Chains A and B, each alone.
Chain A
């Protein structure tokens, strides 16, 4: 792969939802190309199709038509097993509400994707510990999600997303449940990851978060209405 191969590319994605008689087109022919190492923010009004787009990029959902190419390979028509494997190994997902397993400790939450990928106990424990230290939670490995603050939980979620060294980090409103200061700290963490080479795509309502991206994609009614490079992302 050369530097000119997009990391992920959406081609003419269409996604409709049928609820009873009505037919909602959440995406109507969206195309987007993201190069390795980019930091992209997707913004737009509620209902404009941002989450739908992110799910398609992450092989969580499949489009009605169009393609998603990850590292040049079409991932839009994968079998469930292949899509699951791809999410496990190549994609890191971070959600607005953290979605940690409430019954597992922080450490176990980070270990979980590695266990699923077949890593040995010692290997995954070591890596989970170093990931938790990296996100600033080296001292709280044994805490359960309910014993952590929102910002701390989201850091655990980021560590979990990084567990299997993904090529792409997808985050849907990762600061949505956090106060401004905690949100800013999380953004700084994501920027650091991006500087270390990780491609990040995040959906946000948060203007501050959008300004910290290199590139801002705006959606409206299931389409991309603008795609701008930010001259000087706010650090």
Chain B
């Protein structure tokens, strides 16, 4: 009976109620998006960093992976030393540089990011078609390219390209270009969207760089040997290896995935704060909407509520009924808001993914049941609280006085 009354009183002004529900849905959608944003970046970054099982990243001292042009020398010795450590399972060294590429078939040319890796252990790309370049090459012979490059140069797997080091077209003229065959198409995990990229064996790229590349790498990724100790034990061992690397090799910085995530989070703190503020604001807006609407409807019905009290409905009964109205509004708004939130999250995610300089695979809005529950719980608590104030006022209606006013009015 109470639910019937609550529902009916909302339905008495369908337009008003629908507008409020719609407003609430927008606030709910915003909140859900912001929670997805605040928790999603972290989750996405973590899965991106750990997707190939490398927990440690070794870079020139004081730099982040491919953050600068810096490299470390004596790379072979460094990699050998890492590989000799009992807790390290695999090491993937790589070097990155900018190259100029020209198609031998079409007239297209342009600059691209070139990544030297060891194809058998690399954790930088996944092959979409064709194959990875031959691991034994020590000069540039075969490359694998990303989709952007193939499109930009209007070439395809099997075509030949000229590759030269250098930032500009003018420089390229003075350089000797190396010929290479595109043997495959790949998706590069950490390359920003829209950036043409190729990968070739590490030694081939090093030799392409000449003296500047001799025995130098930009990054070495290391994976930690698995054991039965569980996540905490692995994490502790990772940290031990990390400390060992930095103590043994003064020229490098070793970052674990965990610290990398923390650092990324620090860099994205502004984003998260903004998300939290917007989320909190949308909660406040939702609360105000519900309070306003329920207050309005209570004020209109004071006489009716007084009649209910007069014929024996308890104060708590009025309280329940009005709070139920708030909750019904809340539920309807949240249900619509959830759908709306997911749609807008997908849309915003697509926009943010195109942000220059970020890995193409990084998601900003990540749907997680936890995020959903969090925002739903917050919204429901908010809707309950929002209804509480007008409900309390309604339950305090002075019966005799209100009946009298109703009789006169």
Interface residues of A (CB under 8 A from B): 51, 55, 58, 60-61, 80-81, 84-85, 87-89, 91, 93, 95-97, 99, 101-104, 108, 111-113, 115-117, 160-161, 164, 172
Task: Select one of B5, B303, B400 contacting A61, CB under 8 A.
Answer: B400
Q: Give me 5 other A-B pairs in contact (C-beta within 8 A), A93-B311, A116-B314 excluded.
A: A84-B314, A85-B314, A97-B407, A103-B8, A108-B1
B281 within 8 A of A: no
Residues of B contacting A101 in the complex (Cβ-Cβ under 8 angstroms)? 5, 304, 307-308
- Residue in A87, A99, A104, A113 whose Cβ sees the most chain B Cβ within 10 Å: A99
Is B1 touching A113 in the complex (CB atoms < 8 A)?
Answer: no
Given contacts A60-B399, A61-B399, A116-B317, whether A84 and B406 have CB atoms under 8 Å apart is no
Is A88 touching B311 in the complex (CB atoms < 8 A)?
Answer: yes
Is A104 touching B4 in the complex (CB atoms < 8 A)?
Answer: yes
Compute how far the CA of A160 lies from the CA of B313 in the bound complex, rounded to whole angstroms.
13
Task: Select one of A58, A95, A115 contacting B1, CB under 8 A.
Answer: A115
Closest chain A residue to B2, Cβ basis = A115
B residues 301-341 touching A (CB-CB < 8 Å): 303-304, 307-315, 317
Task: Select one of B12, B303, B400, B407 contacting A96, CB under 8 A.
Answer: B407
Compute how far the CA of A160 lies from the CA of B311 in the bound complex, rounded to whole angstroms.
9
Given contacts A99-B406, A116-B317, whether A60 and B9 have CB atoms under 8 Å apart is no
B residues 1-48 touching A (CB-CB < 8 Å): 1, 4-5, 8-9, 11-12
Compute how far the CA of A198 lies from the CA of B308 in the bound complex, rounded to whole angstroms.
23
Residues of A contacting B1 in the complex (Cβ-Cβ under 8 angstroms)? 108, 111-112, 115-116
Residues of A contacting B310 in the complex (Cβ-Cβ under 8 angstroms)? 58, 60, 87, 93
State the Cβ distance, B321 to closest chain A Cβ, in Å: 11
- Residue in B1, B5, B8 whose Cβ sees the most chain A Cβ within 10 Å: B1
Q: Which 9 A-B pairs have the closest CB atoms?
A: A88-B312, A103-B8, A61-B400, A99-B307, A115-B1, A87-B312, A55-B400, A60-B400, A84-B314
- Residue in B4, B12, B312, B400 whose Cβ sees the most chain A Cβ within 10 Å: B312
Closest chain A residue to B409, Cβ basis = A97
29 A/B residue pairs, CB under 8 Å, sorted by A: A58-B310, A60-B400, A60-B403, A80-B315, A81-B314, A84-B315, A85-B314, A87-B312, A88-B312, A88-B313, A93-B311, A95-B407, A96-B407, A99-B303, A99-B406, A101-B308, A103-B12, A104-B5, A104-B8, A111-B1, A112-B1, A112-B308, A112-B311, A112-B313, A116-B1, A116-B312, A116-B317, A160-B311, A172-B407
B404 within 8 A of A: yes
Is A97 touching B406 in the complex (CB atoms < 8 A)?
Answer: yes
Given contacts A104-B8, A115-B1, whether A84 and B313 have CB atoms under 8 Å apart is yes
Residues of A contacting B406 in the complex (Cβ-Cβ under 8 angstroms)? 97, 99
Is B9 touching A103 in the complex (CB atoms < 8 A)?
Answer: yes
State the Cβ distance, A129 to closest chain B Cβ, in Å: 16
Residues of A contacting B12 in the complex (Cβ-Cβ under 8 angstroms)? 102-103
Given contacts A61-B400, A101-B304, whether A113 and B312 have CB atoms under 8 Å apart is yes
- Residue in B308, B310, B315, B317 whose Cβ sees the most chain A Cβ within 10 Å: B310
Residues of B contacting A85 in the complex (Cβ-Cβ under 8 angstroms)? 312, 314
Compute how far the CA of A124 lies from the CA of B1 in the bound complex, rounded to whole angstroms.
12
State the Cβ distance, B13 to closest chain A Cβ, in Å: 11
B residues 42-90 touching A (CB-CB < 8 Å): none
State the Cβ distance, A66 to closest chain B Cβ, in Å: 16
Is A81 touching B315 in the complex (CB atoms < 8 A)?
Answer: yes
Is B313 touching A116 in the complex (CB atoms < 8 A)?
Answer: yes
Closest chain A residue to B396, Cβ basis = A80
Is A95 touching B307 in the complex (CB atoms < 8 A)?
Answer: yes
Closest chain A residue to B309, Cβ basis = A84
